[in-house]
Structure 1
Amino acid sequence: MSTPHIVVLGLGNLLWADEGFGVRCAEALYAGHTLPANVEVIDGGTQGLLLLPYVEAADHLLILDAIDFGLPPATLRVFHDDAVPAYLTAKKMSLHQTGFSEVLALAELKGTTPAAITLIGVQPAELEDYGGSLSPAVRARLPEALAIAVQTLAAWGVQVQPASGDGARLNDASLDMTRYESERPSADSACRVGDARVLFDGEPH
């Protein structure tokens, strides 16, 4: 029996507060654990259809994301297999969910859907904060989401070990959550609701 190829996919946009939850989960999993060669951890960002090759290559797919379930802020939910596309399409929070829903639909049409899919999602508490980090409530759910991710991998036969402390990073050091938060410009110098260059006609006011 061949060893299954497992893809852990963190989705979202770090620039929009809780939208970055999936990516932060993927970063923490990668940095905090030693994973075998058959497990691939990816920052999928908001790439949409560009993620199709990763989905098609996966025997098992673990998705980490912020999802608008219409539940209280910071509520964590887990869905499996056929239930995953339904929740990704129910109430789209951003364009990346539209794109990734299409990825799963296209994989199904091509007969390349992974044998097992699990979604670990959190209800965002804050989205309208351009350049902001995770809200305190959602950030507090990271350890639980990571524990569920590790349990999911274990159910798929993966022996997850604590990291050896070699400082492994999924993304560039400039995106480290602590650094990202500490180096954020003040509200007076950086627009909090989007990119000021495209929000106004002429000079910002």
Structure 2
Amino acid sequence: MTNAGTLILGIGNVLMTDEGVGPEVVRRLESALGPSESLVFMDGGTLSFTLAGPIGEHPRLIVVDAAALGESPGCIRLFEGADMDHRLRTQARSVHEVSLSDLMDMALLSDTLPERRALIGIEPQVIDWGERLTPEVESAVPRAMRLVESVLARWDSEP
């Protein structure tokens, strides 16, 4: 672990309507916050084993992704630390080559699991071909951005 700060990782396929909400939140956050030595913004696409390296290089990780929460479209939930780990193990389903749970397991086995980690899940409305978020999920983007910023502020204030 290089202690390079926080990796903010957006996961999802931007060609599949609301599936692309994670990368969209991260793109807008990067634009709003600007360059920073302590923050690394990354579009993780649809996940691959190549993400294990960047995840393991940072002591803090925030993942933003579309998530089936069983809530109304645009609902946002924060899962942190052990809650994130539990969510990934028990409820996460992935249509990708590799799941976020697989990447967290790799980090754990290689002793590079970020000390602080959070998953921000956003309930999608539509997962189908399309390059735009639905209005319900689009309205969640600014709220998700504020949630990322509040997690960062809290982590920065804690020892």
Q: TM-score, normalised by structure 2?
A: 0.89
* Deviations 1:84-137 (CA, angstroms, capped at 9, x unpaired): 1332341415316x4221000111112211010011110111102x13311100
Kindly indicate whether the alpha-carbon contact (under 8 Å) linking 2:47 and 2:96 is maintained by their aligned counterparts in 1. no
Amino acid corresponding to residue 138 of structure 1 in structure 2: V
CA distance in 1, matches of 2:86, 2:41: 24
Aligned to 1:57: 57
Kindly indicate whether the alpha-carbon contact (under 8 Å) linking 2:4 and 2:57 is maintained by their aligned counterparts in 1. no
Aligned pairs for 1:1-205 within 5 A: 5-89=5-89, 90-95=91-96, 98-128=98-128, 130-157=129-156
The Cα shift of 1:45 comes to 0.7
CA distance in 2, matches of 1:3, 1:58: 6
Larger relative contact order, structure 1 or 2 (CA cutoff 8 Å, min sep 6):
2
Kindly indicate whether the alpha-carbon contact (under 8 Å) linking 1:19 and 1:124 is maintained by their aligned counterparts in 2. yes
- Shift >6 Å, 4+ stretches: none
* Deviations 1:68-89 (CA, angstroms, capped at 9, x unpaired): 1222222110010122133234
Kindly indicate whether the alpha-carbon contact (under 8 Å) linking 1:67 and 1:93 is maintained by their aligned counterparts in 2. no
CA distance in 2, matches of 1:6, 1:69: 25
- Count of residue pairs the alignment pairs up: 155
Structure number with greater Rg is: 1
CA distance in 2, matches of 1:147, 1:29: 9
Q: 1:145 to 1:139 in 2, by over 3 A?
A: same
CA distance in 1, matches of 2:17, 2:117: 26
- Structure 2 residue runs without a partner (length 5+): none
> What RMSD over aligned residues (CA atoms) do the two structures have, in Å?
1.9
Amino acid corresponding to residue 134 of structure 1 in structure 2: L
Q: TM-score, normalised by structure 1?
A: 0.70
How many percent of aligned residue pairs carry the same amino acid? 26
